[in-house]
Chain A
Amino acid sequence: GAGVSQTPSNKVTEKGKYVELRCDPISGHTALYWYRQSLGQGPEFLIYFQGTGAADDSGLPNDRFFAVRPEGSVSTLKIQRTERGDSAVYLCASSLQGSTGELFFGEGSRLTVL
């Protein structure tokens, strides 16, 4: 596709439920990032993939959060037993050059946990 695509754009769920957020990066971009953005804040790092492997998952807040990228393209961020504090916009970005090149962001998935 022309850009980074994220689905769903909006997700409302109840506390305790499981959610999956999907990211389809720009074709050929081996680097993929997940960030979380709360209102009035800058993007907060969650996890970085280089190819299929998670090169850095140090930003995942706890073991309820997990992400995969099995074929080195599409990535899914999975959140178990959602809590109200998980409500935020989850941004995915891809890059050709990893940590020293332009990040191309998706429109984000707005998660609301009631």
Chain B
Amino acid sequence: GENVEQHPSTLSVQEGDSAVIKCTYSDSASNYFPWYKQELGKRPQLIIDIRSNVGEKKDQRIAVTLNKTAKHFSLHITETQPEDSAVYFCAASKETGNQFYFGTGTSLTVIP
């Protein structure tokens, strides 16, 4: 099965700095890579996703990059704000599969 690893487990940045979270996956057939944000005590919510036919996707301050050859993908948050503080999960899935495989999460703290 698929194995998704996520680093770092915790990350602290100063407000305005950038944050980068990295994930690797093992199944070369995986072709959909979403990122979820989970605030304390809340449900996970999708913030951005990327499919294997593109290498990068941006949405305002958030971007995701995908390297299919190396089997890794990253979340980039620029100009971080205190409200970006949360746990971020990466995930991988494939069209022929039945489940999403989640990373172990990164707890991001943005220091004002």
Contacts and interface: CB of A to CB of B under 8 A. Distances in A.
Interface of A: 4, 33, 35, 40-45, 48, 55-56, 59, 91, 98-100, 102-103, 105-108
Given A56-B99, A105-B36, 16 more contacts: A4-B43, A42-B4, A42-B6, A42-B105, A43-B44, A43-B89, A48-B99, A99-B32, A99-B99, A100-B51, A100-B94, A100-B95, A102-B34, A102-B46, A103-B34, A105-B45
A102 B43 CA distance: 13
B97 interface: yes
Contacts, number: 62
B95 A99 contact: yes
B17 to A, nearest CB: 24
Range class of the B interface residue count:
20 to 34
B44 A91 contact: yes
Contact of A42 (B31, B49, B103): B103
Interface string B24-58: 00000001101010000011111001010000000
A61 to B, nearest CB: 15
A97 to B, nearest CB: 9
